[in-house]
Amino acid sequence: MKIALCQINPIIGDIGGNKAKIEKGYKRGVNDGAELVIFPELALCGYPPQDLIEKEEFRTAVQAAAQELASITGETGLLFGSITEHKESVGTGIYNSALLCYNGKLQFTQKKTLLPNYDVFDEVRYFESAKEVFVHEFKGEQLGISICEDIWNDDDYWKHRRYHTDPVQSIVDLGATLLLNISASPYAYGRRTERLEMLSVLTKTDKIPLAYVCCAGAQTDLIFDGASMCFSSNGELKMMGKCYEEDYFIFNTEHKYPSITKVEKSMEEEVLQSLILGLKDYASKTGFKKAVIGLSGGIDSAIVVYIAVQALGAENVHVIMMPSKYSSSGSITDSEKLIQNLSITSSTISIQPAFEKVLDLLNPIFSDKPEDITEENLQSRLRGVYLMAYSNKFGSLLCTTGNKSEMAVGYATLYGDMNGALAVLGDVYKTDVYKIANFINRNDEVIPEAIISKPPSAELRHNQTDQDSLPEYEILDRILKMYLEESKEYNEIIEEVKDETIVKKILRLVDLNEFKRKQAAPVLRVSTKAFGYGRRYPIVQGWRK
């Protein structure tokens, strides 16, 4: 069968725009002689629609658009993801469905069986699970259609399965001769290789070819990398869509293609491309054309500025340097060199006069109390005021610059450097930030070497470095990854780190600073466990005091 895979970038709730993309892709497939044109999971309404699903008017509009798409079809099949609804006495009666249309009608519907309810997924909140699966005869093939998670429970690949049922195996048992999976699978580094390995095992074991289509683009914090995959019946990857962008290609199950074995690049390159796409789509889909960033002379803000330039163009990025009496001369000169390297505009506004004035105003209240973190936070909050003022006045998207290590332990100021609309590096550990900087500089010195090599510092007091308050980042990030991403606890971490004092301190800091993260900007997700919607931890708790 000749199958056209349309890897589109939908916008959640933009039913008309998404419908137009589906119609355009279908007509292209027809013109190219495709027998079937397929689109990703919930392509018509965008994924994940979240509480929009609870609005009856929204569901009605989606289903009306689906009928309109069905009406334009001819002999070429059209398969896309949408919402279906069936009033029942128990449950929501709403389904995440794959719709197969041809000859002007909706001919077949397969509802999603496995509804993920972990990390960033909570489909159980909205959808009902399919009660059974079917195959559908079309142009001499028995189509076995599944939706995203349905294919992630193969008994031959997973040592531990999340679900008791395996809908794809049921489809195979019903006599499927061609597997189709429409997906909206968020990206995290390593996930594409995992898809390759899992789908290879499945197709090789069942001896059935597979066309797997995934969406591309970003939806707030979630990044979808595209990379749709087509496998032969012997488990070999034969075609793959472009990464991090929309794509269209045709897979003919009867043709012989060279095999593809490598699907993922280095962590540095993959994460960098993910973040560029995440920022680009966040800005475009929310109506921003320009970005503003506070440039401190440190590595985090330098990387965020670089990402913004790649995402939006140098002409649309403005940086503000906000020195105080604690700022080193190197911070200014290093920042100026980066500005020159990237050909962006900048402003310099000292916070020192405002800082001194605020201290004078607070002096009657503070009385004779010694200076402490309060004065440090005041400086950060003044910078936040400047940046938000610029953002409001010029309509620029303010990007925060904190990394995952800092956000984890609360090494950030609420209403200060945490101000902004999007946390670009919020899911990137500090040690990985350095790796990404070196990758950016692999051919030319884009990020000034002085920024990379100097000890990291918030510069909120004399001679301050991050390591005054935190352990070395190699140790800190090792602890954080075990705790946050591997769900390990105190005793397990101690076995590897061998320093009870540091482990106890770090875990306590992570838990105590949950209240800050609840108020933080959305974090672009590039790992299997990012701060935000996918990590739900109580602020008030007695597990670790």
Task: Please say if the pLDDT value at position 282 is more than 80.
Answer: yes
Please name every residue paired with 105 in a beta bridge, in sequence order, or none if there are none. 102
Distance between CA atoms of 80 and 100, rounded to whole angstroms?
A: 7
**Distance of CA 146 to CAs 131, 181, 253, 287, Å?**
13, 5, 18, 34
3-state secondary structure of 346: strand
Q: Is residue 7 part of a domain?
A: yes
Closest CA to 502 of 493, 511, 513, 492: 493
What is the structure's pLDDT at 315? Answer: 98
Distance between CA atoms of 454 and 413, rounded to whole angstroms?
A: 22
Q: Is residue 536 part of a domain?
A: no
* Predicted confidence (pLDDT) per residue in 169-204, tens digit: 999 999 999 999 999 999 999 999 999 999 999 999
Give the alpha-carbon dihedral of 390, 394, 399, 400, to 10 degrees. 10
Closest CA to 301 of 346, 265, 268: 346
Distance between CA atoms of 112 and 213, rounded to whole angstroms?
A: 15
Same domain, 255 and 277: no
Distance between CA atoms of 303 and 423, rounded to whole angstroms?
A: 12
Distance between CA atoms of 70 and 102, rounded to whole angstroms?
A: 7
Report how far apart the first and last C-alpha atoms of the chain are (Å, whole number): 61
Same domain, 74 and 186: yes
Q: Is residue 529 part of a domain?
A: no
Same domain, 260 and 274: no
Same domain, 259 and 383: no
Same domain, 255 and 207: yes
What is the structure's pLDDT at 458? Answer: 67
Same domain, 457 and 364: yes
Question: Under a CB-based contact definition with an 8 Å cutoff, are residues 199 and 25 in contact?
Answer: no
Same domain, 68 and 165: yes
Q: Which of 2, 19, 21, 112 is catalytic?
A: 112
Question: Under a CB-based contact definition with an 8 Å cutoff, are residues 129 and 182 in contact?
Answer: no
What is the structure's pLDDT at 472? Answer: 92
Is 230 among the catalytic positions? no
Q: Is residue 377 part of a domain?
A: yes
Q: Is residue 215 part of a domain?
A: yes
Q: How distant is the alpha carbon of residue 317 from its chain centre? A: 22
What is the structure's pLDDT at 301? Answer: 97
* Predicted confidence (pLDDT) per residue in 127-176, tens digit: 999 999 999 999 999 999 999 999 998 877 787 888 899 999 999 999 99
What is the structure's pLDDT at 155? Answer: 77
Domain that holds residue 390: 270-467+514-518
3-state secondary structure of 152: coil
* Predicted confidence (pLDDT) per residue in 347-368, tens digit: 999 999 999 999 999 999 998 8
Closest CA to 221 of 427, 406, 49, 414: 427
Question: Under a CB-based contact definition with an 8 Å cutoff, are residues 99 and 84 in contact?
Answer: yes
Same domain, 30 and 71: yes
Read off the tokens for 102.
């041809």
Is 112 among the catalytic positions? yes
Question: Under a CB-based contact definition with an 8 Å cutoff, are residues 181 and 146 in contact?
Answer: yes
What is the structure's pLDDT at 455? Answer: 81
Question: Under a CB-based contact definition with an 8 Å cutoff, are residues 193 and 178 in contact?
Answer: no
Same domain, 289 and 346: yes
Query: What is the residue whose two structure tokens read 């800005």?
Result: 283
| Phi–psi pair at 138, nearest 5 degrees | -150, 120
Distance between CA atoms of 536 and 534, rounded to whole angstroms?
A: 6
* Predicted confidence (pLDDT) per residue in 362-387, tens digit: 999 998 899 999 999 999 999 999 99
Question: Under a CB-based contact definition with an 8 Å cutoff, are residues 228 and 241 in contact?
Answer: yes
Which element (helix H / strand E) includes 357? helix 352-366
Task: Please say if the pLDDT value at position 45 is more than 70.
Answer: yes
Task: Please say if the pLDDT value at position 510 is more than 90.
Answer: yes
3-state secondary structure of 82: strand
Q: Is residue 151 part of a domain?
A: yes
Predicted confidence band at 459 (pLDDT cuts at 50, 70, 90)?
A: low
Q: How many CB atoms lie within 10 A of CB 363?
A: 10
Closest CA to 399 of 270, 522, 515: 522
* Predicted confidence (pLDDT) per residue in 460-476, tens digit: 777 767 776 788 999 99
- Which stretches does DSSP call E strand in 304-463? 317-321, 345-348, 397-400, 422-423
Is 215 among the catalytic positions? no
Instruction: Count up the domains in the chain and report the number.
Output: 2
Same domain, 274 and 384: yes
CATH number where 60 lies: 3.60.110.10
Task: Record the pTM.
Answer: 0.95
Average the pLDDT over 196-225 and give the result: 96
Same domain, 197 and 342: no
Q: What is the mean pLDDT of the chain?
A: 95
* Predicted confidence (pLDDT) per residue in 319-344, tens digit: 999 999 988 888 899 999 999 999 99
**Distance of CA 467 to CAs 328, 414, 452, Å?**
17, 20, 16
CATH number where 379 lies: 3.40.50.620
Same domain, 68 and 151: yes
What is the structure's pLDDT at 545? Answer: 63
Q: Is residue 105 part of a domain?
A: yes
Give, as one character, the DSSP assignment of residue 100: E
Better-scored residue on pLDDT, 20 or 464 = 20
Q: Which of 19, 35, 41, 516 is catalytic?
A: 41
Q: Is residue 414 part of a domain?
A: yes
Q: How many CB atoms lie within 10 A of CB 368?
A: 5
